[in-house]
């Protein structure tokens, strides 16, 4: 998302060239948030928001929380 700063900009998650399955992305980002020191409340909120819609919603939510590349 151009011009948007994620909640945890210091946490980078590689999406390009990785498994694009929604569950794989959700797991990868959740693990990165845990390793990066995100609060349990933020992790739970990320998971709720990421799973509340379609695949595009998942990707938007990922970009809202971490630096996705």
Above 60 in pLDDT, residue 60?
Answer: yes
Instruction: Quote the percentage of the chain above a pLDDT of 70.
Output: 96
Give the tokens for residue 8: 């945890």
* Domain residue extents for the chain: 8-68
Using pLDDT thresholds of 50, 70 and 90, give the confidence band for residue 25: very high
Q: For 45-69, what is the mean pLDDT?
A: 97
Above 80 in pLDDT, residue 2?
Answer: no
Above 80 in pLDDT, residue 4?
Answer: no
Nearest to 66 by CA among 25, 12, 2: 12
- Provide the residue count of the chain: 69
pTM as predicted? 0.91
């Amino acid at each position: 998302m151009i011009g948007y700063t994620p909640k945890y900009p210091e946490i980078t998650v590689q999406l390009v060239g990785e498994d694009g399955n929604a569950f794989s992305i959700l797991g990868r980002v959740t693990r990165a948030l845990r390793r990066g020191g995100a609060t349990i409340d933020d992790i739970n909120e990320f998971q709720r928001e990421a799973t509340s819609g379609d695949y595009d919603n998942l990707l938007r939510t990922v970009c809202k929380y971490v630096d996705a590349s």
